Amino acid sequence: MGDYYQHFLNNHNNIDHILELRCPGYYCGRRDLGNGRTSDCGSCPSGTKVNSFHICQPCTDSPSSYDYMYLLFMATVPLLFHAVYIDLSLSSILWAFKGKSGNSQKKTKTKIVLNISAILEIFIAAAVAVLVVDPIGQLWIRSCRTQWLSDWYTVLYNPTPDYGESLRCTQEAVYPLYSMIFIFYFACIIVLLTIRPLLSAYFGLNRGAYLKTIYAGLYFFPIAAIIHAFLGGIVYVTFPYIVIVVSVISSAIHFATEINQSAKYLIVNTVCVPRNILIVAVHWVSHGFGIVAITQLENPPVDYALLLLIPLPTLFYIATTRISEPSKILVLYCN
């Protein structure tokens, strides 16, 4: 970055000339055409961002740890959607061999194959998204560091010089965090339509089972893309809190679906059933992920202590289930 400034100053050593180059608005800039020449004020090309001299400068920063966690969050959401939908949809399907001993094995096999397929799809799509953005063909990213929430919504900051015609300076100031997610979603759809039918046919899965999950994905990704288009910046700022809140609510719903709400049963059922162990583990990992994303572990003694709160929602639900069961509350109220 220092070399770029020095190169610019060497070609524009007249301070009055530098001031003349200033553009209106926060995101309008000029492209350096070389030999001391610059373009008119406008939007900066993809992969560049306006600097303090209002010149479009190439982005050479590496994503911050928060950026990486955001990208991991955006990649994990589709995977969790697939996992939850696969689990719920298979429970509602009327199997051809219902009542026979092979029914349980068929459902287990279908769940395993579809979940493996979902994991492969997300990994392949994520790799494609990384390889496509600059630098193309390499498994690393150069980015424009996000400084303000407004960086996500440059379309709202097009200036109107002298109250005349608006100057179009809309650009991706958070490159590549905005465009990369669209590439990822598109790759997910292509891989979903390719990998899952092939794996399902190879393992002879129930046609209705895997088609149902494919249709769900084809609904999910366009909706997710629309949400990202309009709320990408808000999600970027709030995703750690979203993770924690949704995880706590989801954990409570998981335990609330059990018919027997005694503390002993909840503990035994959680420890002895592999599916429940996995669900609780995912919730705990989500809690830890949210805490790390918020704190960035900048104050280790305090932040590491906060990680001890990871199992708190689970323990709190089990400890208070006796006094929070609706039937018991009603009895106490009537008495």
Residue 135 — very low, low, confident or very high, per pLDDT cuts 50/70/90? confident
Supply the DSSP symbol for 54.
Answer: S
Bridge partners for 55 per DSSP: 30
Q: Is residue 102 pLDDT above 60, yes or no?
A: no
Decide which of 99 and 208 is more confident. Answer: 208
Q: Is residue 124 pLDDT above 70, yes or no?
A: yes
Q: Is residue 244 pLDDT above 90, yes or no?
A: yes
Q: Identify the CA nearest to 124 among candidates 190, 210, 199, 216.
A: 190
Amino acid 208: pLDDT: 82
Amino acid 89: pLDDT: 85
Amino acid 325: pLDDT: 65
Give the Å distances, CA to CA, from 104 to 60, 91, 99, 100, 108: 54, 11, 9, 8, 6
**3-class SS at 137?**
coil
Q: Is residue 8 pLDDT above 90, yes or no?
A: no
Burial of residue 53 (number of CB atoms within 10 Å: 0-12, 13-18, 19+) = buried
Bridge partners for 61 per DSSP: 143
Amino acid 105: pLDDT: 79
Average pLDDT, the chain: 87
Sort residue 297 into left (φ over 0), alpha (ψ -120 to 50) or beta. Answer: left
Burial of residue 329 (number of CB atoms within 10 Å: 0-12, 13-18, 19+) = exposed
Q: Which residues contact 72 (CB under 8 A, 6 or more apart)?
A: none
- Separation between Cα atoms, residue 183 and residue 136, nearest integer Å: 13
Amino acid 77: pLDDT: 97
Where do the H-state alpha helices sit in the chain?
2-11, 15-20, 65-92, 102-132, 179-202, 207-256, 263-272, 274-295, 300-306, 312-324, 326-334
Amino acid 98: pLDDT: 52
